[in-house]
Amino acid sequence: MSVLAQLLSVGLLGAGGGLVNALLTEKGFVLSGTHRLPDGQRIWRPGFLGNAVIGCVAAVVFAGLYTPLAVSAVSDLTSPYNLTVQAIMSAVVSGIGGARLLKREVDSHLDTASIASLGQTVQTLVATVQRLQNSLPGEGA
């Protein structure tokens, strides 16, 4: 069996595991969709198909990193640098982790900017309230 066929087999089994996970955790095969939170924010739930895709990717990545498939060459064997399954799967994991790190960094900068903007808005609001209080006629005068 070729390396690709083995990885596809592992992926199909991983997708099956993702479907079992969906069945156990989401009370059945829930379809994907967006849901609105009470604060107005929207979240996307991947549903059972998302679980299957994640199960497939996870199984292929772990098989490509931690099984004998990891050392299988996927490039031309005459090349001085042979690309292995492990190298490809490491790139996938690096991409996922790198994307999470970048997202966290961007979110941190956005949070900092939002807090600074909120502080300026509060200061402006306090100054406006103080001006309004000073412009009102005094009680009992």
pLDDT in tens, 30-77: 888 888 877 777 888 888 888 889 889 999 998 888 888 888 887 766
Q: pLDDT over 90 for what percent of the chain?
A: 9
Distance of CA 77 to the CA centre of its chain: 36
What average pLDDT does this structure show over 9-36? 84
Asked whether residue 140 carries a pLDDT value surpassing 60, the answer given is no
Residue 71 lies in a domain: yes
Q: What is the pLDDT of residue 36?
A: 81
11 within domain boundaries: yes
Tokens of 21: 């996970």
Residue 141 covered by a domain: no
Q: Is residue 140 part of a domain?
A: no
* 96 vs 11, residue with greater confidence: 11
Question: Which range has the worst mean pLDDT, 12-21, 76-85, 97-106, 114-123?
Answer: 76-85
Instruction: List the domain range (segments joined by +) for residue 112.
Output: 3-135
pTM of the model: 0.62
* pLDDT value for 141: 47
In-domain check, residue 117: yes
- DSSP track, 55-84: HHHHHHHHHHHHSGGGG-B-S-TTSSS--B
Place of tokens 């498939």: 69
CB 73 within 8 A of CB 82: yes
Read off the pLDDT of each residue in 83-108 and give the average, rounded to a whole number: 81
Give dist(CA 98, CA 107) in Å, integer. Answer: 14
pLDDT of residue 91 exceeding 80: yes
Number of folded domains that form the chain: 1
Q: Is there a domain that residue 86 lies in?
A: yes
- In the predicted structure, residue 138 carries a pLDDT above the cut 70: no
Q: Is the dihedral of CA 91, 16, 21, 49 positive or negative?
A: positive
